[in-house]
Amino acid sequence: MAQLDVDEFLKRFRDRAEAVRERGIPPLEGEARRSFIQSMELDYMDYTLVGSATWAVEDGHLVLRIPLG
């Protein structure tokens, strides 16, 4: 079983957020375009939130603290 490197785990989320931010929008029209953009925005928010977390191990649990401010 692979060992969890939490710093690397969080870096992957930061990298994913950057990839979402940098990728272009494919040639979609109408509702498909709106849906794609909405999905990108949610992906970016999710990846950014996790990527900005600090972490600790408390009572045998990995605890991610995500700043909301």
Domain ranges for the chain? 6-65
Which residue, 42, 41, 39, 47, is CA-closest to 66? 47
pLDDT of residue 69: 78
Walking along the chain (69 residues) 10 residues at a time, the average pLDDT comes out as 89 97 94 96 96 96 92
Cβ atoms of 14 and 47 closer than 8 Å: yes
pLDDT of residue 68: 87
How many other CB atoms are found less than 10 A from the CB of residue 17? Answer: 20
pLDDT of residue 61: 96
9's tokens: 């785990």
pLDDT of residue 45: 96
pLDDT of residue 1: 61
pLDDT of residue 47: 97
Instruction: Return the DSSP state at 68.
Output: -
